Amino acid sequence: MAVHPSTPRDPGSGDLGISDVLNLVRDCTAALSSVRQEVGAATEAQLLDLVSELGELALWSDAAEVAVVGDALTRGLPAASQVPLSPADWIATASRRHTRGSASRVVKIAEALRSPTITRPAGALAPGQDGEVLGEAILGAVVPLPCGQVAMDEMRRLAPDLQPAFVPAAWEAYALVGAGGDPREVRRIRPELYARFGRPDRLNDRDEGARKHAFLSTGAVDPVDGLTDYRMSLSAESAAILEAALDRLTKPQPGPDGGADPRSYPTRRADALIELVRRATTHGVVPTVAPDTGAGLQGDGPGHPAADRPAAERPAAGRPASQVSLIVRLGDLRDEDGCATTITGLDAGRYLSIATARLLSCNTMLAPIIVDEHGTPIIIGHSKRLFTSQQVRAMQLRDDGCSFLHCSRPAGWADAHHLIHWADGGATEIDNGALLCNHHHHVVHSRRLAGWVTTDPPDDTLGRPPGSSETSDAEDLARRRDRGEPAAADRP
**Is 364:386 a contact under the CB 8 Å cutoff?**
yes
Nearest Cα residue to 438 out of 459, 454, 460, 416: 416
Number of domains into which the chain is organized: 2
In a domain? residue 76: yes
Secondary-structure percent of the chain, ordered helix, strand, coil, rounded to 5 = 50, 10, 40
In a domain? residue 462: yes
In a domain? residue 39: no
Nearest Cα residue to 3 out of 187, 191, 185: 185
pLDDT tens, residue order, the chain (492 aa): 444 444 555 555 557 888 989 999 999 999 999 999 988 999 999 999 999 999 999 999 999 999 999 999 989 998 888 788 999 999 999 999 999 999 999 999 898 887 654 344 444 334 444 578 888 899 999 999 999 999 998 988 888 888 888 888 899 999 999 999 999 999 999 888 888 888 877 777 787 888 889 999 998 988 788 889 999 999 887 888 888 888 878 888 776 677 888 889 999 999 999 888 887 776 544 444 443 333 333 333 333 333 334 333 433 333 333 455 778 887 777 776 777 776 655 456 677 777 777 777 665 556 667 777 777 776 655 456 678 777 888 888 888 888 888 888 887 778 888 888 776 778 888 888 899 887 788 788 777 787 877 766 555 433 443 443 333 333 443 444 444 444 333 333
CA distances for 277 relative to 1, 45, 224, 242, 345, angstroms? 37, 62, 26, 12, 20
Residue 323: Cβ-neighbour burial (10 angstroms; 0-12, 13-18, 19+): buried
What's the domain range around 143? 46-199
Q: CB under 8 Å, gap of 24 or more: what pairs does 128-136 form?
A: 128/168, 129/164, 129/167, 129/168, 129/171, 131/155, 131/171, 132/171, 133/168, 133/171, 133/172, 133/175, 134/171, 134/174, 134/175, 134/178
**Is 423:334 a contact under the CB 8 Å cutoff?**
yes
Residue that terminates a domain, selected from 150, 166, 199: 199
CA distances for 204 relative to 3, 210, 420, angstroms? 31, 10, 20
Residue that terminates a domain, selected from 199, 216, 234: 199
**Is 354:328 a contact under the CB 8 Å cutoff?**
yes
Nearest Cα residue to 355 out of 211, 180, 182: 211
Backbone angles phi, psi at 93, to 5 degrees: -70, -35
Strands 366-371 and 324-329: parallel
DSSP output for 15-44 = -S-HHHHHHHHHHHHHHHHTHHHHGGG--H
Nearest Cα residue to 357 out of 368, 344, 348: 368
Backbone angles phi, psi at 58, to 5 degrees: -65, -40
DSSP structure class, residue 9: P
**Is 241:365 a contact under the CB 8 Å cutoff?**
yes
In a domain? residue 173: yes
In a domain? residue 237: no
- The reply to whether the predicted model has a pTM over 0.75 is no
Instruction: State whether the Cα torsion 287-291-296-298 is positive or negative.
Output: negative
In a domain? residue 430: yes
In a domain? residue 313: no
In a domain? residue 305: no
**Helix segments in 252-300, DSSP class H:** 265-282
Three-state DSSP class for 366?
A: strand
Task: Give the residues across from 418 on adjacent strands.
Answer: 433
Residue that terminates a domain, selected from 141, 167, 199: 199
